Homo-oligomer: A and B are copies of this chain.
Amino acid sequence: MTAPLRVALLGCGTVGSAVLRLVREQAGDLTARIGRPVEIAGIAVRRPDHHPDVPQELLTTDALGLVTRDDVDLVVEVIGGIEPARTLLYAAFEHGKSVVSANKALLAEDGPGLHAAAAKAGVDLYYEAAVAGAIPLLRPLRESLAGDQLRRVVGIVNGTTNFILSRMVETGGGFAEALAEATELGYAEADPTADVDGFDAAAKAAILASLAFHTPVSSADVYREGISAVTATDVARAAEIGCTVKLLAICERVPNGGGEDTVAVRVHPAMIPTTHPLASVGGAFNAVFVEAEAAGQLMFYGQGAGGEPTASAVLGDLVAVARNRVAGASGQGPSGYADLAVRPMAETPTRYHVSLDVADKPGVLAAVAQEFARHEVSISTVRQTGRGDAATLVIVTHSAPDAALSATISALRDMPAVRGVTSVLRVEGLS
């Protein structure tokens, strides 16, 4: 019997305990797939007395001591957050341990630094579980599509917000109501900020864009709007134009005149056609839509969170880094060779849907249209509905720089004939 590969597990919450269970239940299969047995060398937790089901001799509060131990080969980090995870990962690399992490926040903040440290040590850093839970996504982007040119990656990558928006569509209710339901059912955390304000999706977008475009992109590069301002009116207006509302993470390669392409990375709610493959992704599911030059359109769909699905992704990575360790090699990290510039949101082309309450009198449509023209925003469709002395104008624009669109909206708000801007949302995927 060959000596086992020994794993330090950092964190033993929902994901960590699922990892622990799977490593034990599938010991035989893992041994066959890796070529050597895998065993847990220790588990770092903050409060050992909170884990009565775990063999007590494995538990330690000294995470740094554990990752640097000589009898540890591989480190699985499922603590989350920036610190102490960052310090522990750098320490692991320095001591020659390969790392599997599910930590999107850390990877999105410090991906290039971590990869450089791993490469310097000749070890692996894998993190499939950091984006879209169990859905195999990073490996396909990094490897399967390595011979293609990616144009866009558009994903529903946050289950909490997708649940909330799905409920708003189903019930016709508002954001606060749907959030309360999500909290009650355990889909939203007590402090839902990271999900609802788009921080979680923005970290995932940064990771996806980095891999898709071979360009370092961090969370700070990602334009971010959450869903707390989405109203029942927005959802109703979307339905009227055959759309639904989703929080999208959008990574695009944008041509730049004659110069080098740029990348635009953003997270915001948007109307998408109900016929779009992403529109039917309901509840807590995740899906990511990819457009590549040769491959065309691809979609990946599955459970984006939860202990078991996330643990499945962690185990897949664990098998990969363990195989590399057995082979005496390390897998290739993502390349940042392209190093394209990140385009500011103001210059990123988007499309808007706008609903206006206006006075129903001659010249109002002309004045509104003139305001769009003045900002060089071209209108795709207008629908006017009269209601006595008032009318509703629903306008969908063509693509224009985001700053021109938002400046148009500001100008419309100041027009005397415009009684109110009742709904503004970006539109994606309309032809």
- Report A's interface with B, CB cutoff 8 A: 18, 22, 26, 29-30, 32-33, 128, 134-136, 139-140, 143-149, 214, 277, 280, 292-303, 306, 308-309, 311-320, 323, 327, 329, 332, 335, 337-338
A4 CB to nearest chain B CB (Å) = 16
A318 to B148, CA, bound (A): 11
A140 to B142, CA, bound (A): 12
Chain B residues lying within 8 Å of A293, measured Cβ to Cβ, are 308, 312
User: Which 3 A-B residue pairs are closest in the complex by CB-CB distance?
Assistant: A147-B315, A136-B144, A136-B140
| Contact A319:B146 (CB < 8 A) given known A294-B309, A298-B136 | yes
| Contact A32:B292 (CB < 8 A) given known A146-B320, A147-B319 | no
Flag if B22 contacts A316 (CB, 8 Å).
Answer: no
Q: Specify how many copies of this chain sit in the oligomer.
A: 2
Instruction: Please name the residue on chain B nearest to A29 by beta carbon.
Output: B149
Instruction: Please name the residue on chain B nearest to A148 by beta carbon.
Output: B312
Chain B residues lying within 8 Å of A18, measured Cβ to Cβ, are 294
Flag if B294 contacts A308 (CB, 8 Å).
Answer: yes
Chain B residues lying within 8 Å of A329, measured Cβ to Cβ, are 327, 329
A290 CB to nearest chain B CB (Å) = 8
Given contacts A32-B214, A280-B280, A327-B329, 8 further A-B contacts (CB under 8 A): A22-B148, A136-B136, A136-B140, A146-B319, A146-B320, A293-B308, A294-B308, A299-B299
Instruction: Please name the residue on chain B nearest to A146 by beta carbon.
Output: B319
Chain B residues lying within 8 Å of A300, measured Cβ to Cβ, are 298-301
- Interface centre among A297, A314, A332, A337, by most B CB within 10 Å? A332
Flag if A314 contacts B136 (CB, 8 Å).
Answer: no
| Contact A146:B294 (CB < 8 A) given known A140-B136, A140-B140, A214-B32 | no
Flag if B337 contacts A332 (CB, 8 Å).
Answer: no
- Interface centre among A134, A277, A306, by most B CB within 10 Å? A134
Chain B residues lying within 8 Å of A143, measured Cβ to Cβ, are 136, 139, 316, 319-320
Listed by A's residue number, 12 A-B pairs whose Cβ atoms lie within 8 Å are: A29-B338, A128-B144, A134-B292, A143-B320, A147-B317, A294-B308, A294-B309, A295-B312, A297-B302, A297-B303, A299-B301, A329-B329
| Contact A136:B147 (CB < 8 A) given known A303-B296, A332-B327 | no
Instruction: Please name the residue on chain B nearest to A296 by beta carbon.
Output: B303
Flag if B147 contacts A30 (CB, 8 Å).
Answer: yes
Flag if A33 contacts B214 (CB, 8 Å).
Answer: yes
Chain B residues lying within 8 Å of A317, measured Cβ to Cβ, are 147
A301 to B288, CA, bound (A): 10
Chain B residues lying within 8 Å of A149, measured Cβ to Cβ, are 26, 29
Flag if A308 contacts B296 (CB, 8 Å).
Answer: yes
A313 to B18, CA, bound (A): 33
Flag if B338 contacts A332 (CB, 8 Å).
Answer: no
A306 to B297, CA, bound (A): 13
Chain B residues lying within 8 Å of A296, measured Cβ to Cβ, are 134, 302-303, 306, 308-309
- Interface centre among A18, A30, A147, A303, by most B CB within 10 Å? A147
A301 to B276, CA, bound (A): 13
A309 to B148, CA, bound (A): 9
Chain B residues lying within 8 Å of A29, measured Cβ to Cβ, are 149, 214, 338
A326 to B332, CA, bound (A): 11
Chain B residues lying within 8 Å of A320, measured Cβ to Cβ, are 143, 146
